[in-house]
Amino acid sequence: MSLTAKDKSIVKAFWGKASSKADDIGAEAFGRMLTVYPQTKTYFASWSDLSPGSAAVKKHGRTIMGGIAEAVGHIDDLTGGLASLSELHAFKLRVDPANFKILAHNLIVVLALFFPADFTPEVHMAVDKFFQNVAWALSEKYR
């Protein structure tokens, strides 16, 4: 389900509103993912504090949102733009791609929570498609 021109403009417009809260969004979404889907904690077994709001969770939330910002900037060529991130996830982190969907869901919950009026069904659809395409680009180098 590739991104139409309309999807891209909706995503960019919404990101314009949401990006000022990027750090909070990232920390919330990542913290919620670890709480609601505990199997995702397996990728962070070496971390001492995985509770929502911990310094490590906040920091990693920022890292994730940096990747999202990168993706918005390369929305016309996600595979090219996210190539090195894909290599990182494929060869070093080896995150099962099923988890991208889980993180996307939690990002969407947080976006809905922070922007209840702006996160209309139409925006939700465009953002959902965007995250799906980002996940696809991130999985590119896996095999």
Partner 1 sequence: MVEWTQEERVIIKEIFSKLNYEDVGPKSLCRILVVYPWTQRYFAHFGNLYNPEMILANPKIANHGVVVFRGLEMAVQNMDNIKNTYANLSKLHSEKLHVDPDNFQLLADCITIVIATKMRSAFTPEKQATWYKFLSVVVSALSKQYF
Chain positions contacting partner 1, by CB under 8 A: 31-32, 35-36, 52, 105, 108-110, 112-114, 116, 119-122, 124-125, 128
> Closer CB to partner 1, residue 22 or residue 109?
109
User: Which helix (DSSP H) or strand (DSSP E) does residue 10 occupy?
Assistant: helix 5-18
Q: How far is the CB of 52 from partner 1 (least distance, A)?
A: 5
| CA 39 vs CA 2, 32, 89: distances in Å | 29, 12, 17
User: Which DSSP state fits 115?
Assistant: -
> Closer CB to partner 1, residue 59 or residue 94?
59
Q: How far is the CB of 116 from partner 1 (least distance, A)?
A: 4
Q: How far is the CB of 29 from partner 1 (least distance, A)?
A: 10
Please state, in angstroms and rounded to a whole number, the distance separating the CA atoms of residues 72 and 109. 19
Please state, in angstroms and rounded to a whole number, the distance separating the CA atoms of residues 31 and 23. 12
Q: How far is the CB of 94 from partner 1 (least distance, A)?
A: 26
Please state, in angstroms and rounded to a whole number, the distance separating the CA atoms of residues 77 and 91. 22
> Closer CB to partner 1, residue 136 or residue 142?
136
* Residues sharing a CB contact under 8 Å with residue 125, sequence separation 6 or more, in sequence order: 7
> Closer CB to partner 1, residue 23 or residue 128?
128
Please state, in angstroms and rounded to a whole number, the distance separating the CA atoms of residues 138 and 88. 9
